[in-house]
Structure 1
Amino acid sequence: MRIDLPWYGQLVFKTGRPIVLVAALVMSIPGEIHLAMAAGWSQGYARLMPVCVSAYAACAAIIAEVAKRKGLPGRKSAQAGAVAALVLALAAQDISHLISLNYMGVTSVLVALVSAIPPCVAAHMLHMAATPAQLSSVVEVEDTDDDELLAEDGGASSRMGKRGGRRAVDSAAVLAAAEELRASGQKITGATLGRALGTSRRTGTRYRQLLPTELLTG
Protein backbone atom coordinates (compact mmCIF):
# COMPACT_ATOMS: atom_id res chain seq x y z
CA MET A 1 0.00 0.00 0.00
CA ARG A 2 1.38 3.40 -1.00
CA ILE A 3 0.92 6.39 1.31
CA ASP A 4 1.52 9.87 -0.10
CA LEU A 5 2.96 12.12 2.60
CA PRO A 6 3.68 15.85 2.32
CA TRP A 7 7.36 16.80 2.07
CA TYR A 8 7.65 17.53 5.78
CA GLY A 9 5.99 14.23 6.60
CA GLN A 10 8.49 12.40 4.40
CA LEU A 11 11.34 14.31 6.05
CA VAL A 12 10.20 13.29 9.53
CA PHE A 13 9.57 9.71 8.44
CA LYS A 14 12.97 9.28 6.76
CA THR A 15 15.28 11.34 8.97
CA GLY A 16 13.36 12.05 12.16
CA ARG A 17 13.24 8.48 13.40
CA PRO A 18 16.98 7.72 13.15
CA ILE A 19 17.83 11.12 14.66
CA VAL A 20 15.57 10.47 17.65
CA LEU A 21 16.95 6.96 18.06
CA VAL A 22 20.56 8.14 18.01
CA ALA A 23 19.80 11.00 20.42
CA ALA A 24 18.07 8.65 22.86
CA LEU A 25 20.95 6.14 22.73
CA VAL A 26 23.56 8.87 23.24
CA MET A 27 21.69 10.36 26.20
CA SER A 28 21.51 6.91 27.80
CA ILE A 29 25.26 6.35 27.67
CA PRO A 30 26.41 8.41 30.71
CA GLY A 31 23.89 6.89 33.10
CA GLU A 32 24.67 3.34 32.06
CA ILE A 33 28.42 3.90 32.34
CA HIS A 34 27.95 5.47 35.77
CA LEU A 35 25.83 2.53 36.93
CA ALA A 36 28.47 0.04 35.76
CA MET A 37 31.21 1.94 37.58
CA ALA A 38 29.07 2.03 40.72
CA ALA A 39 28.82 -1.77 40.49
CA GLY A 40 32.61 -2.12 40.46
CA TRP A 41 33.72 -2.10 36.83
CA SER A 42 36.66 0.05 35.79
CA GLN A 43 35.92 2.96 33.47
CA GLY A 44 37.23 1.09 30.44
CA TYR A 45 34.90 -1.87 30.89
CA ALA A 46 32.05 0.31 32.12
CA ARG A 47 31.92 1.98 28.69
CA LEU A 48 30.60 -1.29 27.28
CA MET A 49 27.50 -1.23 29.50
CA PRO A 50 25.48 0.93 27.02
CA VAL A 51 25.95 -1.88 24.47
CA CYS A 52 24.54 -4.37 26.98
CA VAL A 53 21.55 -2.17 27.82
CA SER A 54 20.40 0.39 25.22
CA ALA A 55 21.88 -1.29 22.12
CA TYR A 56 20.55 -4.64 23.34
CA ALA A 57 17.09 -3.14 23.81
CA ALA A 58 17.14 -1.82 20.23
CA CYS A 59 18.32 -5.18 18.82
CA ALA A 60 15.76 -7.16 20.83
CA ALA A 61 12.94 -4.88 19.67
CA ILE A 62 13.88 -5.30 15.99
CA ILE A 63 14.32 -9.07 16.26
CA ALA A 64 10.98 -9.37 18.09
CA GLU A 65 9.19 -7.36 15.39
CA VAL A 66 10.69 -9.44 12.55
CA ALA A 67 9.88 -12.68 14.38
CA LYS A 68 6.30 -11.55 14.97
CA ARG A 69 5.68 -10.49 11.35
CA LYS A 70 7.14 -13.67 9.86
CA GLY A 71 5.81 -16.07 12.49
CA LEU A 72 9.29 -17.38 13.27
CA PRO A 73 9.99 -19.90 16.03
CA GLY A 74 11.07 -18.25 19.28
CA ARG A 75 9.07 -15.08 18.65
CA LYS A 76 7.52 -15.18 22.14
CA SER A 77 10.97 -15.33 23.68
CA ALA A 78 12.11 -12.45 21.49
CA GLN A 79 9.07 -10.35 22.48
CA ALA A 80 9.59 -11.12 26.17
CA GLY A 81 13.25 -10.21 25.80
CA ALA A 82 12.36 -6.91 24.11
CA VAL A 83 10.07 -5.98 27.00
CA ALA A 84 12.70 -7.03 29.55
CA ALA A 85 15.35 -5.02 27.68
CA LEU A 86 13.15 -1.90 27.78
CA VAL A 87 12.52 -2.33 31.51
CA LEU A 88 16.26 -2.83 32.02
CA ALA A 89 17.12 0.34 30.08
CA LEU A 90 14.57 2.37 32.05
CA ALA A 91 15.72 1.00 35.39
CA ALA A 92 19.38 1.67 34.56
CA GLN A 93 18.69 5.34 33.89
CA ASP A 94 16.49 5.81 36.96
CA ILE A 95 18.88 4.08 39.37
CA SER A 96 21.94 5.87 37.97
CA HIS A 97 20.39 9.31 38.42
CA LEU A 98 19.04 8.47 41.87
CA ILE A 99 22.56 7.50 42.93
CA SER A 100 24.07 10.63 41.35
CA LEU A 101 21.67 12.90 43.24
CA ASN A 102 22.17 11.00 46.53
CA TYR A 103 18.59 9.75 46.72
CA MET A 104 19.87 6.20 47.15
CA GLY A 105 23.14 4.42 47.78
CA VAL A 106 24.91 1.44 46.26
CA THR A 107 23.87 -1.81 47.96
CA SER A 108 25.09 -5.36 47.61
CA VAL A 109 21.81 -6.30 45.93
CA LEU A 110 22.24 -3.54 43.34
CA VAL A 111 25.83 -4.59 42.63
CA ALA A 112 24.71 -8.21 42.17
CA LEU A 113 21.89 -7.24 39.80
CA VAL A 114 24.03 -4.92 37.67
CA SER A 115 26.83 -7.51 37.53
CA ALA A 116 24.35 -10.04 36.14
CA ILE A 117 23.37 -7.85 33.18
CA PRO A 118 26.14 -8.84 30.69
CA PRO A 119 25.80 -12.64 31.06
CA CYS A 120 21.99 -12.45 30.92
CA VAL A 121 22.11 -10.28 27.79
CA ALA A 122 24.65 -12.61 26.17
CA ALA A 123 22.52 -15.67 26.96
CA HIS A 124 19.37 -14.14 25.47
CA MET A 125 21.14 -12.86 22.34
CA LEU A 126 22.54 -16.35 21.75
CA HIS A 127 19.06 -17.79 22.24
CA MET A 128 17.58 -15.41 19.66
CA ALA A 129 20.45 -16.20 17.28
CA ALA A 130 19.42 -19.87 17.33
CA THR A 131 17.08 -19.32 14.33
CA PRO A 132 19.48 -18.01 11.62
CA ALA A 133 18.05 -20.32 8.98
CA GLN A 134 14.58 -18.85 9.46
CA LEU A 135 15.89 -15.29 9.30
CA SER A 136 17.99 -16.02 6.20
CA SER A 137 14.93 -17.50 4.47
CA VAL A 138 13.05 -14.26 5.12
CA VAL A 139 15.87 -12.22 3.61
CA GLU A 140 16.02 -14.41 0.53
CA VAL A 141 12.33 -13.99 -0.34
CA GLU A 142 11.87 -10.48 1.01
CA ASP A 143 12.80 -8.74 -2.25
CA THR A 144 10.53 -10.98 -4.34
CA ASP A 145 6.79 -10.58 -4.61
CA ASP A 146 5.06 -13.46 -2.83
CA ASP A 147 2.24 -13.60 -5.35
CA GLU A 148 4.71 -13.97 -8.21
CA LEU A 149 6.60 -16.71 -6.41
CA LEU A 150 3.45 -18.73 -5.88
CA ALA A 151 2.19 -18.03 -9.39
CA GLU A 152 5.30 -19.49 -11.01
CA ASP A 153 4.63 -23.03 -12.12
CA GLY A 154 6.71 -25.14 -9.79
CA GLY A 155 9.24 -22.36 -9.20
CA ALA A 156 8.76 -21.86 -5.50
CA SER A 157 8.07 -25.48 -4.74
CA SER A 158 11.11 -26.78 -6.59
CA ARG A 159 13.34 -24.24 -4.88
CA MET A 160 12.00 -25.17 -1.46
CA GLY A 161 12.31 -28.82 -2.31
CA LYS A 162 16.02 -28.37 -3.04
CA ARG A 163 16.55 -26.56 0.25
CA GLY A 164 14.88 -29.11 2.44
CA GLY A 165 15.89 -32.22 0.51
CA ARG A 166 12.28 -33.40 0.66
CA ARG A 167 9.52 -33.97 -1.86
CA ALA A 168 8.46 -30.66 -3.37
CA VAL A 169 4.84 -29.63 -2.98
CA ASP A 170 3.10 -27.83 -5.83
CA SER A 171 2.53 -24.13 -5.14
CA ALA A 172 -1.18 -24.49 -5.92
CA ALA A 173 -1.43 -27.19 -3.27
CA VAL A 174 0.21 -24.87 -0.74
CA LEU A 175 -2.31 -22.13 -1.48
CA ALA A 176 -5.20 -24.56 -1.36
CA ALA A 177 -4.09 -25.98 1.97
CA ALA A 178 -3.67 -22.49 3.44
CA GLU A 179 -7.12 -21.39 2.23
CA GLU A 180 -8.67 -24.54 3.66
CA LEU A 181 -7.06 -23.87 7.03
CA ARG A 182 -8.35 -20.32 7.06
CA ALA A 183 -11.85 -21.43 6.01
CA SER A 184 -11.93 -23.91 8.89
CA GLY A 185 -10.95 -21.19 11.35
CA GLN A 186 -7.49 -22.56 12.01
CA LYS A 187 -4.45 -20.33 12.28
CA ILE A 188 -1.99 -20.76 9.44
CA THR A 189 1.25 -21.69 11.20
CA GLY A 190 4.20 -23.81 10.17
CA ALA A 191 2.79 -26.72 12.17
CA THR A 192 -0.78 -26.59 10.81
CA LEU A 193 0.37 -26.02 7.22
CA GLY A 194 2.90 -28.83 7.52
CA ARG A 195 0.21 -31.24 8.74
CA ALA A 196 -2.14 -30.20 5.94
CA LEU A 197 0.58 -30.82 3.35
CA GLY A 198 1.90 -33.99 4.96
CA THR A 199 5.30 -32.43 5.71
CA SER A 200 7.19 -31.43 8.82
CA ARG A 201 6.58 -28.25 10.81
CA ARG A 202 9.89 -26.82 9.61
CA THR A 203 8.97 -27.41 5.98
CA GLY A 204 5.52 -25.98 6.61
CA THR A 205 7.15 -22.85 8.02
CA ARG A 206 9.20 -22.40 4.84
CA TYR A 207 6.10 -22.74 2.67
CA ARG A 208 4.22 -20.34 4.94
CA GLN A 209 6.80 -17.62 4.31
CA LEU A 210 5.92 -17.67 0.60
CA LEU A 211 2.19 -17.15 1.14
CA PRO A 212 0.65 -13.74 0.38
CA THR A 213 0.41 -11.53 3.46
CA GLU A 214 -3.32 -10.96 2.96
CA LEU A 215 -3.93 -14.70 3.20
CA LEU A 216 -2.12 -14.87 6.55
CA THR A 217 -3.77 -11.79 8.02
CA GLY A 218 -7.19 -11.98 6.41
Structure 2
Amino acid sequence: MSNTVAIDLPGYAKVVYRYGRPVVLIVALLMSIPGEVHLAEVAGWDHVQVWALGTLNVAWGMPVCVSVYAACSAVIADVAKRLSLPNRKSAVAGAVAALALALTAQDVSHWIKADYMGTSWVLVGAVSSIPPLVAFHMLHMAAAPESTESVVEIEDPADEEGGDDVAKRPGRKGKPGRPGLSEAEVKKAIENLKTAGTEVTPENLGQILNRAPRTARRYLAMIERAERKARAEQKAATEPQQSGALQLSI
Protein backbone atom coordinates (compact mmCIF):
# COMPACT_ATOMS: atom_id res chain seq x y z
CA MET A 1 0.00 0.00 0.00
CA SER A 2 1.48 3.34 -1.06
CA ASN A 3 1.55 6.47 1.07
CA THR A 4 0.16 9.85 0.00
CA VAL A 5 1.69 13.21 0.85
CA ALA A 6 -0.15 16.54 0.91
CA ILE A 7 1.85 19.33 -0.74
CA ASP A 8 1.30 22.91 0.41
CA LEU A 9 2.08 25.18 -2.54
CA PRO A 10 3.51 28.68 -1.90
CA GLY A 11 1.21 31.64 -2.36
CA TYR A 12 2.47 32.73 -5.79
CA ALA A 13 2.18 29.17 -7.10
CA LYS A 14 -1.44 28.97 -5.93
CA VAL A 15 -2.22 32.25 -7.70
CA VAL A 16 -0.61 31.04 -10.94
CA TYR A 17 -2.35 27.66 -10.68
CA ARG A 18 -5.78 29.15 -10.02
CA TYR A 19 -5.78 32.29 -12.19
CA GLY A 20 -2.95 31.75 -14.67
CA ARG A 21 -4.64 29.03 -16.67
CA PRO A 22 -7.89 30.89 -17.47
CA VAL A 23 -5.93 34.06 -18.32
CA VAL A 24 -3.69 32.17 -20.74
CA LEU A 25 -6.70 30.43 -22.29
CA ILE A 26 -8.61 33.68 -22.80
CA VAL A 27 -5.61 35.50 -24.30
CA ALA A 28 -4.83 32.58 -26.61
CA LEU A 29 -8.43 32.50 -27.83
CA LEU A 30 -8.43 36.26 -28.41
CA MET A 31 -5.19 36.07 -30.41
CA SER A 32 -6.68 33.30 -32.55
CA ILE A 33 -9.73 35.32 -33.54
CA PRO A 34 -8.24 37.54 -36.34
CA GLY A 35 -6.70 34.65 -38.27
CA GLU A 36 -9.81 32.49 -38.11
CA VAL A 37 -12.11 35.38 -39.07
CA HIS A 38 -9.87 36.20 -42.02
CA LEU A 39 -9.86 32.59 -43.17
CA ALA A 40 -13.67 32.49 -42.99
CA GLU A 41 -13.91 35.71 -45.03
CA VAL A 42 -11.58 34.24 -47.67
CA ALA A 43 -13.92 31.24 -47.95
CA GLY A 44 -16.95 33.50 -48.36
CA TRP A 45 -18.30 33.53 -44.79
CA ASP A 46 -18.50 37.30 -44.65
CA HIS A 47 -21.79 39.16 -45.02
CA VAL A 48 -24.93 37.07 -45.13
CA GLN A 49 -28.56 38.19 -45.19
CA VAL A 50 -30.25 36.65 -42.12
CA TRP A 51 -34.02 37.22 -42.40
CA ALA A 52 -35.19 40.25 -40.39
CA LEU A 53 -31.80 40.67 -38.72
CA GLY A 54 -30.33 42.16 -41.85
CA THR A 55 -26.82 41.57 -43.10
CA LEU A 56 -24.50 39.90 -40.60
CA ASN A 57 -20.79 39.15 -40.76
CA VAL A 58 -21.00 35.46 -39.85
CA ALA A 59 -17.24 35.09 -40.29
CA TRP A 60 -16.95 36.11 -36.63
CA GLY A 61 -18.46 32.75 -35.75
CA MET A 62 -15.46 30.84 -37.11
CA PRO A 63 -13.37 31.28 -33.90
CA VAL A 64 -16.16 29.51 -32.02
CA CYS A 65 -16.09 26.66 -34.54
CA VAL A 66 -12.31 26.31 -34.31
CA SER A 67 -10.58 27.57 -31.14
CA VAL A 68 -13.53 27.33 -28.73
CA TYR A 69 -14.41 23.94 -30.24
CA ALA A 70 -10.85 22.76 -29.62
CA ALA A 71 -11.03 23.90 -25.98
CA CYS A 72 -14.43 22.23 -25.46
CA SER A 73 -13.26 19.01 -27.09
CA ALA A 74 -10.21 18.87 -24.83
CA VAL A 75 -12.35 19.27 -21.69
CA ILE A 76 -14.97 16.75 -22.88
CA ALA A 77 -12.24 14.26 -23.78
CA ASP A 78 -10.68 14.57 -20.33
CA VAL A 79 -14.03 14.14 -18.55
CA ALA A 80 -15.04 11.22 -20.78
CA LYS A 81 -11.73 9.48 -20.08
CA ARG A 82 -11.95 10.02 -16.31
CA LEU A 83 -15.54 8.76 -16.09
CA SER A 84 -15.13 5.97 -18.68
CA LEU A 85 -18.00 7.29 -20.78
CA PRO A 86 -18.92 5.32 -23.91
CA ASN A 87 -17.96 8.22 -26.22
CA ARG A 88 -14.46 8.70 -24.78
CA LYS A 89 -12.66 7.45 -27.93
CA SER A 90 -14.65 9.80 -30.13
CA ALA A 91 -14.02 12.68 -27.71
CA VAL A 92 -10.25 12.09 -27.71
CA ALA A 93 -10.17 11.81 -31.51
CA GLY A 94 -12.23 14.98 -31.77
CA ALA A 95 -9.89 16.84 -29.40
CA VAL A 96 -6.85 15.88 -31.49
CA ALA A 97 -8.63 16.82 -34.73
CA ALA A 98 -9.79 20.12 -33.23
CA LEU A 99 -6.25 21.02 -32.19
CA ALA A 100 -4.93 20.17 -35.66
CA LEU A 101 -7.74 22.25 -37.19
CA ALA A 102 -6.96 25.26 -35.00
CA LEU A 103 -3.25 25.10 -35.84
CA THR A 104 -3.89 24.69 -39.57
CA ALA A 105 -6.38 27.56 -39.63
CA GLN A 106 -3.87 29.95 -38.08
CA ASP A 107 -1.05 28.89 -40.39
CA VAL A 108 -3.10 29.10 -43.59
CA SER A 109 -4.55 32.48 -42.67
CA HIS A 110 -1.14 34.01 -42.01
CA TRP A 111 0.32 32.42 -45.17
CA ILE A 112 -2.40 34.10 -47.22
CA LYS A 113 -1.85 37.46 -45.50
CA ALA A 114 1.90 37.23 -46.10
CA ASP A 115 1.34 36.32 -49.78
CA TYR A 116 3.00 32.93 -49.37
CA MET A 117 -0.08 31.26 -50.85
CA GLY A 118 -3.41 32.15 -52.38
CA THR A 119 -6.92 30.85 -52.03
CA SER A 120 -8.24 27.89 -54.05
CA TRP A 121 -11.40 25.85 -54.44
CA VAL A 122 -9.90 23.20 -52.15
CA LEU A 123 -9.30 25.73 -49.38
CA VAL A 124 -12.76 27.27 -49.78
CA GLY A 125 -14.37 23.83 -49.64
CA ALA A 126 -12.39 22.78 -46.58
CA VAL A 127 -13.16 25.96 -44.64
CA SER A 128 -16.83 25.84 -45.63
CA SER A 129 -17.16 22.31 -44.22
CA ILE A 130 -15.87 23.27 -40.75
CA PRO A 131 -19.15 24.51 -39.14
CA PRO A 132 -21.29 21.47 -40.10
CA LEU A 133 -18.57 19.01 -39.08
CA VAL A 134 -18.12 20.77 -35.73
CA ALA A 135 -21.89 20.77 -35.14
CA PHE A 136 -22.11 17.05 -35.97
CA HIS A 137 -19.29 16.08 -33.62
CA MET A 138 -20.58 18.20 -30.72
CA LEU A 139 -24.04 16.62 -31.07
CA HIS A 140 -22.44 13.18 -31.15
CA MET A 141 -20.55 13.82 -27.90
CA ALA A 142 -23.63 15.34 -26.28
CA ALA A 143 -25.49 12.06 -26.81
CA ALA A 144 -23.64 10.40 -23.87
CA PRO A 145 -25.79 9.29 -20.90
CA GLU A 146 -25.91 11.55 -17.82
CA SER A 147 -24.84 8.75 -15.47
CA THR A 148 -21.39 7.27 -15.77
CA GLU A 149 -20.72 3.73 -16.86
CA SER A 150 -19.38 2.76 -13.45
CA VAL A 151 -22.57 3.81 -11.66
CA VAL A 152 -24.90 2.18 -14.17
CA GLU A 153 -23.25 -1.20 -14.53
CA ILE A 154 -21.68 -1.82 -11.15
CA GLU A 155 -22.89 -4.81 -9.15
CA ASP A 156 -20.07 -5.93 -6.91
CA PRO A 157 -16.45 -4.69 -6.78
CA ALA A 158 -15.35 -8.24 -6.05
CA ASP A 159 -16.35 -9.15 -9.61
CA GLU A 160 -13.68 -6.79 -10.93
CA GLU A 161 -11.07 -8.35 -8.67
CA GLY A 162 -11.79 -11.81 -10.05
CA GLY A 163 -12.40 -13.36 -6.63
CA ASP A 164 -13.04 -17.04 -5.97
CA ASP A 165 -16.79 -16.47 -5.89
CA VAL A 166 -16.69 -15.41 -9.53
CA ALA A 167 -15.38 -18.76 -10.66
CA LYS A 168 -17.93 -20.67 -8.56
CA ARG A 169 -21.04 -18.92 -9.92
CA PRO A 170 -22.89 -20.91 -12.61
CA GLY A 171 -22.70 -19.41 -16.05
CA ARG A 172 -19.74 -17.16 -15.12
CA LYS A 173 -16.24 -17.61 -16.45
CA GLY A 174 -13.31 -16.28 -14.51
CA LYS A 175 -10.06 -17.13 -12.84
CA PRO A 176 -9.53 -17.02 -9.08
CA GLY A 177 -7.72 -13.85 -8.05
CA ARG A 178 -7.44 -11.40 -5.20
CA PRO A 179 -10.52 -11.24 -2.95
CA GLY A 180 -12.53 -8.04 -2.94
CA LEU A 181 -11.98 -5.47 -0.21
CA SER A 182 -14.50 -4.94 2.55
CA GLU A 183 -16.51 -1.75 2.96
CA ALA A 184 -14.57 -0.92 6.12
CA GLU A 185 -11.24 -1.17 4.29
CA VAL A 186 -12.43 1.11 1.51
CA LYS A 187 -13.82 3.68 3.98
CA LYS A 188 -10.53 3.66 5.88
CA ALA A 189 -8.62 4.33 2.65
CA ILE A 190 -10.97 7.20 1.81
CA GLU A 191 -10.48 8.70 5.27
CA ASN A 192 -6.71 8.44 4.82
CA LEU A 193 -6.96 10.39 1.56
CA LYS A 194 -9.09 13.09 3.19
CA THR A 195 -6.75 13.32 6.18
CA ALA A 196 -3.78 13.76 3.84
CA GLY A 197 -5.63 16.52 1.99
CA THR A 198 -5.74 14.48 -1.21
CA GLU A 199 -8.76 14.57 -3.51
CA VAL A 200 -10.80 11.37 -3.43
CA THR A 201 -10.66 10.24 -7.06
CA PRO A 202 -10.62 6.75 -8.60
CA GLU A 203 -6.96 7.22 -9.49
CA ASN A 204 -5.89 8.27 -5.96
CA LEU A 205 -8.07 5.66 -4.26
CA GLY A 206 -6.79 2.95 -6.60
CA GLN A 207 -3.22 3.92 -5.77
CA ILE A 208 -3.71 3.64 -2.03
CA LEU A 209 -5.72 0.41 -2.39
CA ASN A 210 -3.27 -1.06 -4.90
CA ARG A 211 -6.11 -1.52 -7.36
CA ALA A 212 -6.87 -0.32 -10.87
CA PRO A 213 -8.72 3.04 -11.19
CA ARG A 214 -11.70 1.27 -12.72
CA THR A 215 -11.95 -1.02 -9.71
CA ALA A 216 -11.55 1.93 -7.34
CA ARG A 217 -14.38 3.69 -9.16
CA ARG A 218 -16.59 0.69 -8.44
CA TYR A 219 -15.65 0.81 -4.77
CA LEU A 220 -16.56 4.51 -4.64
CA ALA A 221 -19.95 3.71 -6.16
CA MET A 222 -20.42 0.94 -3.59
CA ILE A 223 -19.73 3.34 -0.71
CA GLU A 224 -22.05 5.95 -2.21
CA ARG A 225 -24.89 3.41 -2.45
CA ALA A 226 -24.32 2.31 1.14
CA GLU A 227 -24.41 5.92 2.35
CA ARG A 228 -27.60 6.66 0.41
CA LYS A 229 -29.22 3.57 1.90
CA ALA A 230 -28.17 4.57 5.41
CA ARG A 231 -29.56 8.08 4.95
CA ALA A 232 -32.85 6.69 3.64
CA GLU A 233 -33.16 4.32 6.60
CA GLN A 234 -32.37 7.11 9.05
CA LYS A 235 -34.95 9.36 7.43
CA ALA A 236 -37.57 6.61 7.54
CA ALA A 237 -36.82 6.00 11.23
CA THR A 238 -37.10 9.66 12.22
CA GLU A 239 -40.27 10.46 10.29
CA PRO A 240 -42.62 8.39 12.56
CA GLN A 241 -41.10 10.02 15.65
CA GLN A 242 -41.64 13.49 14.22
CA SER A 243 -45.20 12.61 13.24
CA GLY A 244 -45.97 11.34 16.76
CA ALA A 245 -44.51 14.46 18.33
CA LEU A 246 -46.66 16.61 16.04
CA GLN A 247 -49.84 14.76 17.02
CA LEU A 248 -48.98 15.08 20.71
CA SER A 249 -48.49 18.83 20.47
CA ILE A 250 -51.85 19.22 18.74
1:137-148 correspondence to structure 2 within 5 Å: none
The yes-or-no answer on 1:25 pairing with 2:21 is no
Q: CA deviation at 1:42?
A: 1.4
1:62-81 correspondence to structure 2 within 5 Å: 62-81=75-94
Q: CA deviation at 1:212?
A: 4.6
The yes-or-no answer on 1:128 pairing with 2:141 is yes
Residues 45-74 of structure 1, C-alpha deviations (whole Å, 9 max, x = no match): 000000000000000000000111111101
Q: Which residue of 1 aligns with 2:44?
A: 40
Q: Select which of 212, 217, 227 maps to 1:216.
A: 212
Q: Which residue of 1 aligns with 2:157?
A: 175
Q: CA deviation at 1:179?
A: 2.0
The yes-or-no answer on 1:97 pairing with 2:110 is yes
Q: Which residue of 1 aligns with 2:99?
A: 86
Residues 65-118 of structure 1, C-alpha deviations (whole Å, 9 max, x = no match): 011111110111110000000000000000000111111101010000000000
Supply the distance in 1 between the matched residues of 2:111 and 2:7 (Cα, whole angstroms).
Answer: 44
Q: 1:63 to 1:175 in 2, by over 3 A?
A: same
Q: CA deviation at 1:4?
A: 1.3
Supply the distance in 1 between the matched residues of 2:96 and 2:202 (Cα, whole angstroms).
Answer: 29
Q: CA deviation at 1:124?
A: 0.5
Gaps of 5+ in 1: 139-159, 185-194, 197-210
Supply the distance in 1 between the matched residues of 2:147 and 2:71 (Cα, whole angstroms).
Answer: 20
Supply the distance in 2 between the matched residues of 1:68 and 1:78 (Cα, whole angstroms).
Answer: 9
Which structure exhibits the higher relative contact order, with contacts defined as CA atoms closer than 8 Å and separated by 6 or more residues?
Answer: 2
Residue identity in the other structure for 1:216 = A
Q: Which residue of 2 aligns with 1:151?
A: none
The yes-or-no answer on 1:109 pairing with 2:122 is yes
- 3-state DSSP of counterpart to 1:133: coil
Q: TM-score, normalised by structure 1?
A: 0.67
The yes-or-no answer on 1:10 pairing with 2:14 is yes
Residue identity in the other structure for 1:16 = G
Superposed structure 1 runs of 4+ greater than 4 Å apart: none
Q: Which residue of 1 aligns with 2:239?
A: none
Gaps of 5+ in 2: 48-56, 167-171, 174-200, 217-250
Residues 18-48 of structure 1, C-alpha deviations (whole Å, 9 max, x = no match): 1100000000000000000000011510000
Q: CA deviation at 1:3?
A: 2.6
Residue identity in the other structure for 1:89 = A
Q: TM-score, normalised by structure 2?
A: 0.59
RMSD: 2.7
Q: CA deviation at 1:176?
A: 1.3
Equivalent pairs counted in the alignment come to: 161
Q: Select which of 67, 76, 101 maps to 1:54.
A: 67
- 3-state DSSP of counterpart to 1:40: coil
Larger radius of gyration: 2
Supply the distance in 2 between the matched residues of 1:10 and 1:91 (Cα, whole angstroms).
Answer: 34
